[in-house]
């Protein structure tokens, strides 16, 4: 069988170990593994199965479509989704046993009007300071009142209440205390209205790792499950291993003289005679063009600099005097254990975050899974 030209190798053993380590951070809480955006670029169905293997009680998906795709892939466990514009197919999700989120009284009314064949299970989202989705101020009061009426009438089962931190990756940021306080106040409003949700959840990856007071009944882990720090400046004792290794085989190798310039715009020129290698992936596969002339790759036990502008299908690396041939393997990024760059390194080179580095990958990159269980 011909080796892939470019592949993302997903280590499911590492993923399961990360889940186990994160569960140990919040032993009194249930754990939700977030598999939105195709499992942060790792393959939603595959990492969902691995998360269940590792004891994740819940899965989280952003959209109804993502949640339904998990059901179609065979998942039957507890599953929550939370992002839906007007007109979304709530009925299909409810009938598939997916718990949905209401972020306003109007959205709750839309959920209740869906022609589902079973009573919906709904979680309520409160905006505690992220100013994104979720009910805020009088909107929250209206949502609580509407939910109480609907539950008393038997039209809905309110199973949870939740919110999302804005600054948990900065553990000392004052917004964290303010949001946790606002969340507790919102839960109190629910209880006063006669709703006792089984699940209260606020913690994302960063808070799971560093803020035990916010663990409540469930924690939601996203990027940390894939072995990437929520912020490269964060420190914590939990050991996590990056799950994805991106590699490709050189499509071309050539020796060029001093003065040879590379790629569109000639933004890099060789100062001496050197060997160039052509890596056959580019921004069509999600490689960040803004990393041009700044990123590195792993090659032959060392590193090689990416030179010239990243193109749609390819980018060039400077191999110096290294012995290289067409077909040789290049590690674009990986766990870093063998000295290769990590997704965080590429993020730093591109001026972005590692979340974007892994979630944007696609195009002609093949995924290969290791550590799969029967």
Three-state SS at 1: coil
Phi, psi of 307 (to 5 degrees): -130, 150
**Cα 162 from Cα 164, distance rounded (Å):** 7
Catalytic residue among 125, 226, 254, 264: 264
d(CA 107, CA 94): 14
Query: For residue 83, what is the enclosing H or E element?
Result: strand 78-83
The 10 Å Cβ neighbour count of residue 132 is 12
Q: Kindly name the residue from 23, 36, 40, 355 that is annotated as catalytic.
A: 36
How far is it between the farthest Cα atoms of the chain?
Answer: 80
Q: What is the CA radius of gyration of the chain?
A: 23
**Distance between CA 75 and CA 63 in Å, rounded?**
16
In this structure, are residues 203 and 168 in contact, taking their beta carbons and an 8 Å threshold?
A: yes
Structure token pair of residue 191 = 């209880």
DSSP codes of every residue in 219-235: EEESGGGGT--SSTT--
Q: How would you classify residue 154: left for phi > 0, otherwise alpha for psi between -120 and 50, otherwise beta?
A: left
277: Cβ contacts below 8 Å, ≥ 6 apart: 250, 252, 253, 299, 304, 316, 317, 319, 324, 328, 330
| 264 included as an active-site residue | yes
DSSP state of 365: P
Nearest to 127 by CA among 82, 73, 75: 82
Structure tokens at 73: 């892939």
Active site residues per annotation = 36, 264
């Amino acid at each position: 069988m011909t080796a892939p030209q470019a592949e993302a190798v997903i280590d499911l053993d590492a993923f399961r170990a990360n889940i186990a380590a994160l569960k140990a951070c919040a032993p009194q809480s249930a754990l939700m593994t977030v598999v939105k955006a195709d499992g942060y670029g790792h393959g939603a169905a595959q990492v969902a199965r691995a998360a269940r293997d590792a004891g994740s009680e819940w899965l989280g998906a952003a959209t109804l479509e993502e949640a339904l795709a998990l059901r179609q892939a065979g998942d039957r466990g507890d599953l929550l989704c939370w992002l839906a514009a007007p007109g979304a197919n709530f009925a299909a999700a409810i009938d598939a046993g997916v718990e949905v989120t209401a972020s306003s009284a109007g959205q709750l009314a839309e959920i209740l009007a869906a022609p589902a064949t079973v009573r919906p299970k709904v979680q309520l989202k409160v905006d505690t300071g992220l100013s994104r989705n979720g009910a805020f101020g009088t909107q929250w009061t209206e949502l609580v009142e509407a939910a109480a009426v609907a539950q008393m009438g038997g039209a809905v089962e309110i199973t949870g209440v939740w919110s999302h931190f804005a600054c948990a990756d900065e553990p000392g940021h004052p917004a964290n205390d303010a949001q946790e306080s606002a969340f507790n106040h919102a839960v109190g409003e629910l209880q006063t209205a006669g709703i006792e949700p089984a699940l209260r959840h606020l913690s994302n990856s960063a808070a799971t790792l560093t803020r035990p007071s916010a663990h409540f009944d469930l924690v939601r882990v996203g990027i940390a499950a894939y072995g990437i720090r929520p912020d490269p400046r964060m420190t914590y004792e939990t050991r996590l291993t990056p799950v994805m290794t991106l590699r490709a085989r050189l499509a071309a190798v050539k020796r060029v003289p001093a003065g040879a310039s590379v790629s569109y715009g000639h933004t890099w020129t060789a100062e001496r005679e050197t060997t160039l290698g052509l890596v056959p992936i580019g921004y069509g596969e999600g490689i960040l063009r803004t990393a041009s002339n700044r990123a590195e790759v792993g090659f032959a036990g060392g590193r090689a600099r990416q030179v010239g502008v990243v193109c749609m299908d390819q980018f060039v690396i400077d191999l110096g005097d290294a012995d290289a041939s067409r077909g040789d393997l290049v590690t674009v990024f990986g766990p870093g254990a063998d000295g290769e760059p990590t997704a965080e390194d590429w993020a730093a080179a591109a001026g972005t975050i590692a979340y974007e580095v892994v979630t944007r990958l696609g195009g002609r990159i093949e995924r290969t899974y290791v550590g799969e269980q029967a």
